[in-house]
């Protein structure tokens, strides 16, 4: 019986590299890899060798016979993927350019700004291509790992365990980590560019998009809640939404992460203050929703909850052509404009209501001390609290260009000046700062390889 890749697949693609049967797709370089939520194992060619299980850094692969009832849907998705797409030939690896052994400084020196997954894969790639390189990693906090350490949902244990991938590269003698140093504040980009042969921006995109005001009581940032849960001091709890009704602005995976967090931790406050209804506002229609299928499945599998769809929002289109849309269309509906959640003792099941086509225009505090969320269509959602999960942008660093999307303009990782359209010598970018806040931990592996290839080509031409 074949093996199955689960919903928390990291797309690191270590499994692809060890599979003797070429049965894991889409592989790096194949059509669909960049946009795929997960990889898939062809059940018709898998030989149950378990090589992929041992290679997967997120523990996201299981034999089909060992799947839990809630995991059976991933076996179905595997089969559906290969029924729709023919097996692709094994892709040829890209040319790997070795880094030059020396530079005008006698030893090649590269600085990396940030220490999250994109930085980790970049360090690995640099070390793989040069035995004599020196790499210095600047991290603004005292602990490495970026959002993998600070922001991944506490219940995503397999993904969080990927932090062990940092052990080997970051303990290498060629690597120096400088914690507690914020580039752009404690040291400038210009100074780094003078000291090093190349500087790689791997600072991620952890700055919340400012849709919600920061001065309204009862309004929280989703990422702030998750970071506090992961990094808070012993005995302290993150700020919790209180009151019967809470509106979540945004419907991506982070929004769903914080919805699950509310469902599992609402018992921390007295019953009279517990959330009984969460209304999740998606700017997009169901067909363009930014949450993944696995995030939706995690939501509907929650215990002591009821997931519904707002009948006054945009409904899934007729004849939905994906299993996710079909499942959305089967959700029971309710009208959010009717009665809202009320406190009860003991609290009943948590109602989670998905409302699509709701672009938020304003978030304000009412005279009663509650929160009013108004959409561009003039619809107002009243709640006791609100959580903002509207995506991320890259934090601006002096000396690093940033476009209107909050992304560093680049060509395959080489930073481009927006004024001249020319490459900025010695300055590179990787990860979410390079491509926007999309993709999981493992997507940074191919992203880092592309950036380091560009860096190597440029440095080799100089030596």
DSSP notation for 286-335: GGG--S-HHHHHHHHT-TTEEEEEETTSPPPPTT--SHHHHHHHTS-EE-
Residues contacting 367, CB < 8 A, separation 6+: none
Percent of the chain at pLDDT > 70 equals 90
Residue 225 pLDDT exceeds 50? yes
Per-residue pLDDT tens for 42-67? Answer: 999 999 999 999 999 999 999 999 99
**Tally of CA atoms within 13 A in the half-sphere of 460 that contains its CB:** 12
H or E element, residue 150 = helix 146-150
Half-sphere exposure of 172 (CA within 13 A, CB side): 22
Has residue 93 got a pLDDT over 50?
Answer: no
The pLDDT tens digits for 247-263 are 999 999 999 999 999 99
Separation of alpha carbons 179 and 29, rounded Å = 35
pLDDT at 374 over 70: yes
Task: State mean pLDDT over 303-315.
Answer: 93
- Beta partners for residue 415, in sequence order: 410
Measuring CA to CA, which residue among 460, 431, 414 is closest to residue 123?
431
309 pLDDT more than 70: yes
**The pLDDT of residue 236:** 58
Whether 255 and 263 have beta carbons less than 8 Å apart is answered as: no
Whether residue 80 is predicted with pLDDT greater than 70 in this model: the reply is yes
Give yes or no for residue 348 having a pLDDT over 90: no
Report the SS3 class of residue 426: strand
Q: pLDDT-based confidence at 8, cuts 50/70/90?
A: very high
CB-based burial, 249-273: b 16+ in 10 Å, e otherwise: bbbbbbbbbbbbbbbbbbeeeeeee
What pLDDT shows up at residue 99? 62
In angstroms, the CA 196 to CA 420 distance is 23
Q: Summarize the confidence of residues 423-440 as an average pLDDT.
A: 95
355, β-bridge pairs: 281
Q: What is the pLDDT of residues 393-402, one digit of tens each?
A: 999 999 999 9
pTM: 0.89
pLDDT value, residue 268: 84
Instruction: Give the confidence band of 87 by pLDDT, cuts at 50, 70, 90.
Output: low
Q: Which of 428, 392, 459, 453 is nearest to 114 (CA)?
A: 428
Bridge partners (DSSP) listed for residue 219: 386
What's the chain's average pLDDT? 90
DSSP per-residue codes, 242-283: -SSEEEEE--SHHHHHHHHHHHHHGGGS-GGG---EEEEEES
Q: Is the pLDDT of residue 210 over 80?
A: no
Structure confidence at residue 351 as a pLDDT band (50, 70, 90): very high
pLDDT at 92 over 50: no
With 0-12 CB in 10 A as exposed, 13-18 as middle and 19+ as buried, what is 217?
A: exposed
CA 188, CA 399: separation in Å to the nearest integer? 8
Query: d(Cα 110, Cα 135) in Å, to the nearest integer?
Result: 5
The structural domains of the chain, ordered by start, are 3-84 (3.30.70.20), 109-206+393-462 (3.40.50.720), 210-390 (3.50.50.60)
Kindly tell me if the per-residue pLDDT of 378 is higher than 80: yes
104 has a pLDDT exceeding 80: no
70-89 as b/e, with b when 16 or more CB fall inside 10 Å? ebebbbebbbebbeeeeeee
Specify the higher pLDDT residue, 298 or 83. 298
- pLDDT class for 342, splitting at 50, 70, 90? low
Residues 6 or more apart whose Cβ sits within 8 Å of residue 286: 314, 315, 316, 317, 320, 325, 328, 329, 356
Phi, psi (rounded to 5 degrees) for 427: -120, 125
- Poorest-pLDDT segment among 123-127, 132-136, 216-220, 371-375: 216-220
Span of 158-162, 216-220, 222-226 with lowest mean pLDDT = 216-220
């Amino acid at each position: 019986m074949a093996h199955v890749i689960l919903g928390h697949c990291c797309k690191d693609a270590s499994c692809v590299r060890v599979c003797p049967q070429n049965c894991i797709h889409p592989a790096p370089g194949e059509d669909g890899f960049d946009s795929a939520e997960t990889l898939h194992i062809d059940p018709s060619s898998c030989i149950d060798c378990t090589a992929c299980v041992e290679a997967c850094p997120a523990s996201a692969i299981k034999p089909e016979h060992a799947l839990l009832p809630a995991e059976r849907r991933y076996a179905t998705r595997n089969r559906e993927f290969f029924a729709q797409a023919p097996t692709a030939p094994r892709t040829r690896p890209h040319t790997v350019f070795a880094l030059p052994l020396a530079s005008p400084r006698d030893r090649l020196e590269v600085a990396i700004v940030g220490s999250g997954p994109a930085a980790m894969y970049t360090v690995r790639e640099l070390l793989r291509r040069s035995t004599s390189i020196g790499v210095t990693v600047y991290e603004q906090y005292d602990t490495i790992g970026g959002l993998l350490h600070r922001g991944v949902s506490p219940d995503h244990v397999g993904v969080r365990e990927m932090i062990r991938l940092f052990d080997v590269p970051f303990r290498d003698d060629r690597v120096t980590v400088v914690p507690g140093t914020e580039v752009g504040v404690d040291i400038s980009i210009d100074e780094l560019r003078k000291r090093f042969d190349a500087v790689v921006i791997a600072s991620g995109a952890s700055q919340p998009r400012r849709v919600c005001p920061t001065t309204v009581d009862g309004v929280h940032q989703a990422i702030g809640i998750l970071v506090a849960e992961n990094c808070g001091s012993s005995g302290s709890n993150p700020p919790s939404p209180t009151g019967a009704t809470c509106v979540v602005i945004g419907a991506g995976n982070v929004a769903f992460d914080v919805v699950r967090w509310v469902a599992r931790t609402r018992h921390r406050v007295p019953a009279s203050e517990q959330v009984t209804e969460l209304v999740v506002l998606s700017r997009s229609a169901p067909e363009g929703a930014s949450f993944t299928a696995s995030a939706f499945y995690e939501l509907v599998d929650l215990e002591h909850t009821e997931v519904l769809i707002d009948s006054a929002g945009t409904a899934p289109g007729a004849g939905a052509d994906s299993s996710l849309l079909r499942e959305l269309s089967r959700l029971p509906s309710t009208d959010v404009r009717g009665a809202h959640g009320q406190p009860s003792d003991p609290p009943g099941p948590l109602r989670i209501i998905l409302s699509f086509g709701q672009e938020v225009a304003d978030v304000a505090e009412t005279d009663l001390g509650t929160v009013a969320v108004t959409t561009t269509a003039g619809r107002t959602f009243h709640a006791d609290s609100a959580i903002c999960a509207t995506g991320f942008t890259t934090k601006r660093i002096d000396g690093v260009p940033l476009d209107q999307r909050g992304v560093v303009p680049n060509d395959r990782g080489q930073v481009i000046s927006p004024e001249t359209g020319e490459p900025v010598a010695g300055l590179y970018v990787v990860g979410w700062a390079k491509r926007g806040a999309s993709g999981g931990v493992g997507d940074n592996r191919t992203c880092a390889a592309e950036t380091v290839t560009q860096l190597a080509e440029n440095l080799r031409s100089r030596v």
